[in-house]
């Protein structure tokens, strides 16, 4: 390939001069542009920081605006990505742990539901087949009031509100217990005192409770009377344990008048055979305080009778002998098979001497 001819010397010199000229002009233009840029920048800065009302207000609001931007944007710039990853791992672990615990609790929840269903069934049964204590007490009072109508004409001289009182010297000690032996009732209160047996307000559970199958209750009457009848009452068998009801009872009259005692000794009193046989083994009350007692009546309370209140006549001979009594003893000989005896109310009727 043939070699190219060298350019003429004059041409090289001309190109060199043009290059230096272009470089010098470019450098001059750059410096001029930088100067102009600096002047414009200074002018703009001066304008921005020149005091004026609007600019001063904007400048004063700038820190609050910058603080707001910092609060809003800071989490995006300062929370590392690994923190987000770690949080997701923690939440995932908590979710797995909660699911595991819920799985373990499932059998317990099932057992609790079964127990609740059982309880609901029992409550439904109780509501359908049982009655409340207040209903039972109301039923007892209504029954006693209904049976008392036949005895309203007979004054009760043993009634506490009429002046009757308990003679503790002739009374057995009651049992000390916190339960009244009524299936639908229990109480943390002490056993009622013997006064409940001569009180008209004797609701369910208000009975005088003896610690054995036998015992005696001494009563001082409101007046000295010629006793004609003894009345005994008990609560309905539907709401009480009838094994605790007294069965055979012997009523004694204390003779504290010498002339009356003489008339009794001189008379040939005809006692029923059952009473005569009883007197052979028990001629007087167990607690007699060395007083002279005579038997007035021996009777049996019938728990199977429709009448809750049952009345019994005393021996006619004492009425004929005109013997009056102020103190009597209710001698409970036995009951219907219970370990204790519950006496609700005793009434004593007669004529004032």
Q: Tokens 């002490």 identify what position? A: 190
The series of mean pLDDT values per 10 residues for the chain, 353 residues long, is 52 53 62 65 60 50 61 53 53 61 64 72 64 57 52 84 96 64 48 91 83 95 97 89 96 94 88 88 88 96 93 90 96 96 96 92
How far, in Å, CA of 313 to CA of 332, rounded?
Answer: 17
Strand intervals (E) in the chain: 165-166, 208-210, 215-233, 248-255, 292-300, 309-313, 325-332, 341-343, 345-352
Burial zone of 196 (CB within 10 Å; 0-12 exposed, 13-18 middle, 19+ buried): buried
DSSP-derived letter for residue 11 is H
Burial zone of 153 (CB within 10 Å; 0-12 exposed, 13-18 middle, 19+ buried): exposed
Q: Closest Cα to residue 185, out of 125, 242, 119, 132? A: 132
DSSP-derived letter for residue 143 is H
Q: Closest Cα to residue 335, out of 192, 236, 234? A: 234
Residue 340 in tokens: 């204790």
The continuous run of DSSP H or E covering 86 comes out as: helix 81-129
Q: Which residues contact 268 (CB under 8 A, 6 or more apart)?
A: none
pLDDT of residue 173: 84
pLDDT of residue 180: 44
How far, in Å, CA of 196 to CA of 235, rounded?
Answer: 14
How far, in Å, CA of 219 to CA of 198, rounded?
Answer: 9
> May I ask the CATH architecture of the domain 133-352?
Sandwich (2.60)
Residue 321 in tokens: 């002998």
pLDDT of residue 186: 44
CA distances from 3 to 12, 15, 319 (A): 18, 22, 181
**Cβ contact 196:329 at 8 Å:** no
Burial zone of 283 (CB within 10 Å; 0-12 exposed, 13-18 middle, 19+ buried): exposed
Q: Closest Cα to residue 176, out of 210, 213, 199? A: 210
């Amino acid at each position: 390939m043939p070699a190219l001819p060298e350019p003429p010397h004059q041409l090289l010199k001309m190109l060199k001069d043009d290059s230096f000229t272009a470089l010098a002009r470019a450098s001059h233009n750059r410096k001029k542009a930088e100067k102009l840029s600096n002047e414009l920048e200074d002018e703009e800065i001066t304008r921005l920081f020149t005091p004026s009302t609007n600019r001063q207000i904007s400048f004063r609001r700038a820190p609050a605006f910058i603080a707001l931007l910092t609060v809003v944007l800071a989490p995006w710039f300062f929370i590392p990505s690994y923190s987000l990853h770690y949080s997701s791992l923690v939440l995932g672990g908590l979710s797995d742990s909660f699911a595991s615990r819920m799985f373990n609790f499932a059998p317990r929840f099932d057992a609790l539901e079964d127990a609740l269903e059982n309880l609901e069934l029992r409550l439904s049964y109780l509501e359908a087949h049982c009655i409340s204590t207040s209903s039972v007490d109301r039923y007892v009072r209504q029954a006693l009031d209904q049976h008392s109508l036949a005895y309203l004409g007979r004054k009760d001289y043993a009634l506490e509100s009429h002046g009757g009182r308990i003679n503790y010297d002739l009374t057995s000690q009651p049992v000390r217990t916190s339960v009244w032996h009524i299936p639908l009732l229990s109480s943390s209160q002490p056993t009622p005192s013997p006064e409940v047996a001569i009180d008209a307000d004797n609701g369910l559970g208000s009975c005088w409770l003896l610690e054995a199958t036998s015992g005696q209750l001494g009563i001082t009457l409101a007046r000295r009377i010629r006793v004609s009848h003894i009345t005994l009452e008990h609560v309905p068998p539907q709401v009480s344990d009838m094994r605790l009801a007294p069965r055979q009872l012997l009523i004694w009259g204390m003779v504290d008048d010498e002339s009356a005692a003489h008339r009794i000794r001189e008379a040939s009193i005809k006692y029923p055979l059952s009473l005569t046989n009883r007197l052979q083994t028990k001629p007087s009350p167990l607690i007699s305080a060395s007083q002279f007692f005579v038997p007035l009546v021996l009777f049996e309370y019938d728990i199977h009778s429709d009448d809750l209140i049952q009345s019994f006549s005393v021996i006619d001979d004492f009425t004929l002998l005109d013997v009056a009594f102020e103190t009597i003893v209710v001698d409970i000989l036995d009951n219907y098979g219970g370990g204790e005896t519950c006496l609700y109310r005793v009434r004593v009727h007669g004529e004032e001497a």
